[in-house]
Amino acid sequence: MALSGRPLTRRLVLGTAAASAITALGVAPATAAGRSPAADDEFDTLRTRWRNLLTGTGFDATAQPYRNALAALGTQAGGFAKAMTATLWADLPLGKVSNNITQSYKRLATMALAYAQPGTGFTGDAALGAQVTAGLDQLATTAYTPNTATYDNWWDWQIGAPQAMLDACVLVFPLLSDAQLGRYNAAVDHFVPDSAVAVYTGTSTGANRADLCRVIALRGVLGRSSAKIATASSALSPIFPYVTTGDGLYADGSFIQHTWVPYTNSYGEVMLGDFSRLFTLLAGSTWAVTDPQRGTVLDAVQHAFAPFIVNGLAMDGLSGRAISRGLQGASPTPQSDHTRGHLLISDILRLAESGVGTAGQTAAWRAMVKGWLQREKFQPCLEDPGVGVPELARAQALLADGTVAGTPEPVGHRVFGMDRSVHRRPQWTAAISMCSARTTYYENGNGENLRGWHTNAGMLYWWGSDDQYSDAFWPTVDPYRLPGTTVSTRKLADGYGGAWGAPKPAATFAGGATDGVFAAVGQDVRGLGSTLVAKKSWFCLDDIVVCLGAGITATDGVPVETIVDNRRVSTEALVVDGQKQPRTDGWSRQLRRARIATVDDTASYLFPGGATVNAARISRTGAWHDINTSSSTQPITRDYLTLWFDHGVDPVNATYSYVLMPGGGRPQLRLLPRIIANTATVQAIEDPATNTIAATFFAAGTASPLHVDAPCSVLIRRQGRTLTVAVSDPTQTASSITVTYEGRTLVKADVAGARGASQVQTIRKW
């Protein structure tokens, strides 16, 4: 509500105009006098802890980066306060859209934070505090009441709205009477009863269960209910054990939410954030989380989360529909892989501060995070306006701690049962996003990620010295030309296939074998909404990724393409076999018998034996609203350099081969691997530079000198007479696999129940 057009300051006393505006809501301003102070006890201690988690402690509000962050918070809160009316906000009408209730509470929580934190321009401001309490009462009277029937999205009623409301209550606690808190808590009890966490099923699993526990715990703190806090603490326990199906953490480091969606960097982050906060809140109290199985969460920091963070950014291939959340509402900055990475960084540092980890774990977490913070360039954590002051304080303190050395980027490879694979090198990282009958083509829902159709059709992400996917990539990239994918260009409707991860391919082959350093990865691709079938492999070696495709067949009556890469560029030069190509927008050319294409010092693309490749520079314009109905309609333009194979209309058993060589190396000096086979049955290479043989067998068969008796991935690295052998079953259906090498039985791997994990053996004196 506006205060007679007068600017709100910390010195402003609630005047006649403001009092009249609040009276219009039918409530009187609440003050500390509305409650008889209770003796300090555990409930007060926990409430103070939560307040400190929200506001931060031990920082100088006049120093950077806090001064700017606090001023920005004040500006945002002031804007909400100015626009507030007797019915709250005109752009958030109540009664039909449940998210409007959540967003209303979030605005009140933002205003409450500006009231509680120093340096915002509204610190302790009576008028702003009165607006917050009046808004809480208005919602408790008209929208979020013990008698309201739910509508629209369950999440708003059980998680979104109550979390924001309870945070606001903690921040303006001295201004609220016991009667007010009683009304608010009664509404929470109505929408989030203990029965919401009584059974680990439905929407009460994984990150959602952790969110529900957070709501019940805070309701218990504000309502001084030991039983509620105990319920929340104990209800965390079903999340801790590794799962073998459905939502949650898996022993191999996978994290699934919504049954079919690899969601480490979105829902997984929410879960880790809740754990870090609840462990901190309840530590040392009567209700401390002491379940010994909480160790799975602590182990997951390095085992399940760190593999998907690169120099501070969180990989989009594990973020589901969150990749479509750009500039939204009053957000000061578009969301990106970096902003999601900053959330995970904040969660890990908060967890390190909670005291639940061992000394070794805590030291490893801090060193790992410091390395990310030091290497992050595109959008450093300390410059992200969306990072809260408490999180900024932890990050800055870590950077200033001379006793902690940042951990460098690791070298290695991980293959996950959730159809994801990550290859890491000191100067670059690659990741492959696949899908199978076990995981979805893509997830859309709530109007989000409407064109993510092909994001798991073998998308090959890679990061070097630039941040390809951070700056408005998703609203401007051609969704039919995602890097690494093989797709039918048949046009699909927004949200095609169904929401919440419903569309899944019938194929079961997705995954690969790794010895922890190199890997052989493969996917049986089935087109979404098309007749396309294809077999794809990626052989990840020391300085290259060898990409093969075969059996590419479709009858859709439209062209089928394999996208070598589709990179945002500005003035980068494309050089093909020593010849510079035009840098003008709209340029397109078919390159015949191309052998080496290089993009400045970014990467080289090698085509064994020469190939016909298409290249184009295209300027594309889009808006976040195109892929997410709740995001900005502001047009954005980005320039792309695209390389692709055109397999033609209705191809039959088409093939391709190329080699990705990230960085500014000298590709002409690299001895290329020999392609042993590239068919719909088997794809295999031999790399003399590293003494490696790698193969993807989509069926039992032979690729000399290898023979297998079941579908599998095989990786063999030779050093003298010693062989390191990795075998896996990407179908996750076999019981055993026998591999014959050079006419002798090399290994008989027991893969039953391994969920696609590699069996690695060392054979000496071969």
What is the distance of C-alpha 52 from the center of its chain? 26
Phi-psi bin for 517: left (phi > 0), alpha (psi -120 to 50), beta?
Answer: alpha
Closest CA to 207 of 169, 264, 291, 166: 264
- Characterise 720 by phi-psi region: left (phi > 0), alpha (psi -120 to 50), beta (else): left
What are the φ and ψ backbone dihedral angles of 74, each rounded to 5 degrees?
-60, -40
Radius of gyration of the chain (CA): 28
Distance CA 524, CA 321 (A): 23
Contact 536, 548 (CB under 8 A): yes
Considering 105, 267, 640, 658, which one is annotated as catalytic?
A: 267
Other beta carbons within 10 Å of 245: 10
Task: Indicate if 185 belongs to the active site.
Answer: no
Catalytic (active site) residue 647: no
Buried b (16+ CB within 10 A) or exposed e, 447-473: bbbbbbbbbbbbbbbbbbebbbbbbbb
Question: Do 455 and 474 form a contact (C-beta atoms < 8 A)?
Answer: no
Q: Clarify whether 267 is annotated catalytic.
A: yes
Tokens of 586: 């709209």
- Exposure b/e, 155-178, CB count within 10 A at least 16 = b: bbbbbbbbbbbbbbbbbbbebbbe
Phi then psi for residue 580, to 5 deg, are -70, 140
3-41: string of b/e by CB count within 10 Å (b at 16+)? Answer: beeeebebebebeeebeebbeebebebbeeebbeeeeee
Query: Distance between CA 715 and CA 692 in Å, rounded?
Result: 7
Of the listed 250, 258, 605, 658, which one is catalytic?
A: 258
Q: Are the C-beta atoms of 698 and 707 separated by less than 8 Å?
A: no
Look up residue 234 and give its DSSP letter: H
Dihedral sign (CA 193, 197, 199, 204): positive
Please check whether residue 484 is in contact with residue 460, taking contact to mean a CB–CB distance below 8 angstroms.
yes
Q: Which of 208, 449, 628, 678 is catalytic?
A: 208
Contact 755, 416 (CB under 8 A): no
Crossing angle for the helix pair 161-171 and 206-222, nearest 10 degrees? 30
Residue of 300, 373, 438 whose CA lies nearest to 733: 438
Active-site positions read 208, 258, 267
